[in-house]
Amino acid sequence: MPSWQAALHTWQTSVTESPVPSRVAVLEACLGLSGMLASIIGGQWRRAQGYINPFWLVLATNLVSALYAYVFVRESVQPDPSAKLFTTRHHKAVWHLYSTGGSSSEGGGRFHRCKLWLYTLCFFLVVTVHFGSRELYVLYELSSPLCWGPALIGYGSAAQHLAYLSSLLGLRIMQHCLEDSWVALVGLVSNIIGLLVVSVANTTQLMFTGYGLCFLFMASTPVLRSKLSKLVDPSEQGALFASVACVESLCFLAGSGVFNSLYPATLHFMKGFPFHFCRHHPPHPRWNNWDSAVFRPEERPRRLNSILT
């Protein structure tokens, strides 16, 4: 899945004029729409026919998607007959990107490289929280006092995926009055408030309220992807999104390991404690001011004084 997303984001960047967050959010919203539809029909279908037929549908849709991409999606890169598939050049490109900041860092130097690392770290923390909390929702809903069945779990998953679409709509609206960094911050705040409500939810209505308050939680990741994409040259987009895909895989591993271990360890005093931990995990909002102060040399003295005071 991360490799597929990396290829998709790289292709989208190469065929558009500028990697604005709204275009990246459209891709995220497509994932949310498909997940929402699958969640709505999945619970009822599994109750009626079991688990085998849904897996056959997943296989068929993947084959149709691959066929569609092969037939209708045009190639955005001119094939190089001399290029090799198994070579260390790809790994060296990723190393060069993060050790020097890429070809576009000649004017920025160390600050440009630090900015690339900072956005990657922000992306790691945000996606780790997303993956880690998503692993716990079903366990949380199956246990007492909620005790949900397959149908309610499907509806809850659909409500969670609905946030992909609401985040896209909110992103487009907020871009008219806010900078991208503040849009990402609003998404983080929405996620924090929603996780707080989920952590104390003991009724179905309160649980769905928590899902509703997370309606902008996916607004931060498209902004971070776009900002990362803007930091590198078009020739380095492949190396960038390949490294982002590796970071996503690491996020899945870290989120699953940490939060799935934390949940049984804290059941005896607070079942929703992992969600409390999640809401303290994202980057601090003041990082937005630090980003502006450190990486804009002409504004650095004024911004640093405002942060320190």
Tokens 């690392």 belong to residue: 117
Q: How high is the pLDDT of residue 193? A: 92
Q: Name the class of domain 19-51+110-308.
A: mainly alpha
**Tokens in use for 235?**
């020739």
Residue 254: per-residue pLDDT: 92
- What angle, 0 to 180 degrees and rounded to 10, lies between the N-to-C axes of helices 150-174 and 110-142? 150
Q: In whole angstroms, how large is the CA radius of gyration of the chain?
A: 21
Determine the average pLDDT of the residues in 164-191.
Answer: 87
Find the range with the poorest average confidence among 5-14, 40-49, 234-243. Answer: 5-14
Query: Which residues fall within 8 angstroms of residue 53, CB to CB, at 6 or more apart?
Result: 45
Position 82 pLDDT exceeds 80? no
Structure confidence by residue, pLDDT tens digits, 17-39: 654 566 667 777 777 777 778 77
- Output the DSSP codes for 15-37: HSSS--HHHHHHHHHHHHHHHHH
Closest CA to 10 of 90, 124, 112: 90
